[in-house]
Structure 1
Amino acid sequence: MTLRVTEDNPLPEGIISGYLTAKKGLKLRYALLSREEPGPGTVVLLQGRCEAIEKYFETIGDLRAMGFDCATLDWRGQGGSDRMLRDRMAAHVRSFDHYVEDLTLFFNEVVLQSCRPPYFILAHSMGGLVTLLALPQLAQHVRRAVLLAPLLGLNEAIDQKWIGKIASLLCGLGLGSRYFPQTRHRGRLTAFEGNRVTSDRRRFERNRAIELTFPELTVGRPTAAWVQAACDAIKRVHETGFMAANRTPLLLVAAGSDAMISNDAIEDYARRIRSGHCLVVDGARHELLQESDIYREQALAAFRAFVTGRMTSEEPGEAETIEPERTETAKPDENGERSEPGVT
């Protein structure tokens, strides 16, 4: 077992893990959870930048409780997978095509061989962007995909064009493996107050404990090459021909108070792409699956409704509603508070 546990983050029941060998001998860590009982299929759970499998133990357990099997992996350069540079803290890749290669390999050698169909994708942030890039190769296998706060554009306060130009310049000067300027603390959890990813203190502290206990899983700042690769990937998925070729039903879920990703870009993409649907979770911050229950449960309910065909609207790109299920609705906490985070 290659997975790490902390007191507040136990292993999901029935999970196993291993390593997959990619090109040039690169080791990619993955985990599988299969239920003995027949279920509605397998969810391929894909992380964002700087995350690790351990951060999603709770979500894997939730998917199991819904009846799904689950498969997940650590992207190259983060979590328990091999790193790309001697500096293990650097988030580095020269092209998002490498992530696509890893995901395609994972599907072909692990998911299709060991997991029960049908297959669904649940992806967060960078994982959502990689999913879009990979769907041309995986469309025959993936029935539906849900992308949570997908990386389709940076927050409106950040000039994405200038960031891309600076990254391109640094890479042209041979400085692609250097940290991108002004990203000193990004990717690291410091203090709950002022954080931009979640309004849930318990989950924040749980994830911080994972980082402190197992620093080898942690990744920090992105390199110039990673930033350029991300900008290039965003441009590619917005190309008219690329969008028109998609045939996989997609649900894009935006976090209403996301200070990192452009919600306008997410909503616009859902309107333009074939079979695209959009849902906004008002008040939620970027990491929807690490958020307070009142937001997190909406995201999980949207996922379940979409993959089981229970979305009430059939018009692509429009705001969606979900058919009510007999489950308890998220309520304010015991102090009567409903967190309404703002952009920080």
Structure 2
Amino acid sequence: MADLLVEIPQNPIPEGTVTGRFQTADGLGLRYARIPPGGAANRGTVVLLPGRNEYIEKYLETAGDLARRGYGSAIVDWRGQGGSDRLLQDRDRGYVVDFDDYVRDLDRFFEHVILPDCRGPYYVLAHSTGVLIALLAAPSLANRVRRMVLLAPLLGLPTTPRIALWVRRLASFLYMIGLGKMYMPGRRGRDKLPAFSPASLSSDRERFARNRATVVQRQELAINGPTVAWTRAMFQAIDRVTDPAFMAALHIPLLFLAAGADRVVSGQAIENYASRLRSASLLTIDGARHELLQEADIYREQALAAFFAFIDDGASTGAAASSYGVLQSGKTT
């Protein structure tokens, strides 16, 4: 079923990749991919959780990096995006009513794909919205996942508290009067194929062009802006994971990686959150933009080095350990 994935010369599908679809509890079909570890080694499985408006193909390069280090990987397209089923007739609208739907989908992913077909131990590598979902799911993942690495977490908007409160109240009001399916005002973002610019979420022209070429091949992989319902659900999810009682119950070791030049999520919110957890560390990669795993090598390699050092359970070779030592000279908490 490799035809479920888009393959272009700049982004080959790793050898041995298995793709398929599984059904959610409410009957949606979600696309997934499993990539085996390279060679004879099998050090476990990394569960890759993409962000909003992302898709499996963006993470094939990372899956290849993991395979070369002996880790398999499993990736899912969230409901309403990528190659998974949509919830609205207009396929371009980013829509969900409650982030618990994502959490239930992740649980189903474990039950139907990861636990039966992927070797443990299990780790999570999540990005942006995927981080918020991973944190919501963390209490149920405590007996499944050994460690989590959380990239550019969606824990707040990069704006003033006053503006964030205004956006929250607007989303709640519009939802209350029955407009949950409309685009959040100012967030439609019609162009699925934007040109590379200083506002792009990655500073790497080649990876940006690769992802753009993938969407050229299958434009339905990309969606437009979030709806009112999605935005309201996002704020509710942030409220839940930042509740002190919820945070006190987080026991999975966590490594937060923030992007120093992030314009999508709040770096201050990430710092505040990590500092309040007993089992978390924070590394800020100065100069990096939001999409750390799509970034230029100078930033992306730092993120990967920190990831491998964190999950290797003290068994790191000198190369990985020394790389992490250099990284610790950045801003950490």
Instruction: Please say if residues 253 and 280 of structure 1, whose CA atoms lie closer than 8 Å, have aligned partners that are also in contact.
Output: yes
Alpha-carbon deviation of 1:86? 0.5
Q: Choose the corresponding residue for 1:3, options 2, 5, 8.
A: 5
Matched, 1:262 2:260: no
For 1:34, the aligned partner's letter is P
Shift of 1:58: 0.6
Q: Secondary structure at the match of 1:289?
A: helix
Tell me which amino acid in the other structure corresponds to 1:57. L
Q: 205, 208, 212: which is aligned to 2:212? A: 208
Kindly provide the amino acid, as one letter, of the partner of residue 16 in structure 1: V
The 8 Å contact of residues 306 and 323 in structure 2, kept in 1 or not, is answered as: no
What does residue 27 of structure 2 align with? 25
Kindly indicate which of the two structures has a greater share of residues assigned to helix.
2
Q: Identify which of 138, 143, 147 aligns with 1:144.
A: 147
Q: Give, in whole Å, the separation in 1 of the partners of 2:235 and 2:57.
A: 28
Q: How many angstroms does 1:129 deviate by?
A: 0.5
Give the counterpart letter for 1:323 in structure 2: A
Match of 1:13 among 5, 8, 15: 15
1:186-227 Cα deviation digits (max 9, x unpaired): 884411113330100001111111111101211111100000
Aligned match of 2:202 in 198, 203, 208?
198
AA in 2 matched with 1:18: G
Find the aligned partners of 1:266 and 1:34 in 2 and give their Cα distance.
Answer: 32
The aligned counterpart of 1:248 is 252
Aligned to 2:322: 324
Gapped regions of structure 2 (runs ≥ 5): 328-333
Q: Is the 8 A contact 1:12 1:60 kept in 2?
A: yes
Contact 1:187–1:219 under 8 Å retained in 2:
no
Measured after TM superposition, the shift of residue 325 of structure 1 is 5.0
Supply the distance in 2 between the matched residues of 1:50 and 1:189 (Cα, whole angstroms): 13
Q: Which residue identity does 2:6 align to in structure 1?
A: R
Letter in 2 for 1:31: A
Q: Is the 8 A contact 2:180 2:229 kept in 1?
A: yes
What is the distance in 1 between the residues matched to 2:234 and 2:185?
Answer: 15
Residues 1-344 of structure 1 aligned to structure 2 (within 5 Å)? 1=1, 2-35=4-37, 37-156=40-159, 159-185=163-189, 188-310=192-314, 323-325=321-323
Q: Distance in 2 between matches of 1:191 and 1:66?
A: 34
- Structure-2 separation of matches of 1:325 and 1:240: 34
Secondary structure of 2:321's counterpart equals coil
Native 8 Å contact 2:193 2:216 kept in 1: no
CA distance in 2, matches of 1:157, 1:16: 44
Quick check: 1:243–1:274 contact (8 Å CA) kept in 2?
A: no
TM-score by length of 1: 0.89
Q: How many residues align?
A: 319
- Deviation for aligned residue 1:309: 3.3
Query: 1:39 offset after TM fit, Å?
Result: 2.1
Shift of 1:234: 0.5
TM-score (norm 2): 0.92
Identical residues among aligned pairs (%): 51
1:184, 1:137 → 2: CA distance?
34
- Deviating beyond 6 angstroms after TM superposition, the runs of 4 or more aligned structure 1 residues are none
Q: Per-residue deviation at 1:323?
A: 2.9
**Bigger CA drift: 121-130 or 210-219?**
210-219
Q: In 2, distance between residues paired with 1:217 and 1:325?
A: 35
What SS does the aligned partner of 2:183 have? coil
Show CA shifts across 1:97-151 (max 9, x none). Answer: 0000000110112111111110000000000000000011111000000000010
**1:25 & 1:175 partners in 2: Cα distance?**
24
Q: What SS does structure 1 have at the residue aligned with 2:178?
A: coil
| 3-state SS of paired residue (2:131) | helix
RMSD: 2.0
State the Cα distance separating 1:66 from its structure 2 match: 1.2
Q: Hey, what's the Cα distance between the residues in 2 that align with 1:310 and 1:238? A: 30
Contact preservation (8 Å) 2:192, 2:219: no
| Alignment gaps of 5+ in structure 1 | 313-321, 331-344
Q: Which amino acid in structure 2 is aligned with residue 185 of structure 1? A: G
Pick which of 180-189 and 273-282 moved more: 180-189
2: CA distance between counterparts of 1:289 and 1:266?
A: 18
CA displacement, residues 20-62 of structure 1 (integer Å, 9 cap, x when unaligned): 0112321011110123623221000000000110111111111
Partner Cα separation in structure 1 for residue 134 and residue 192 of structure 2? 24
Secondary structure at the aligned position of 2:109 is classed as helix
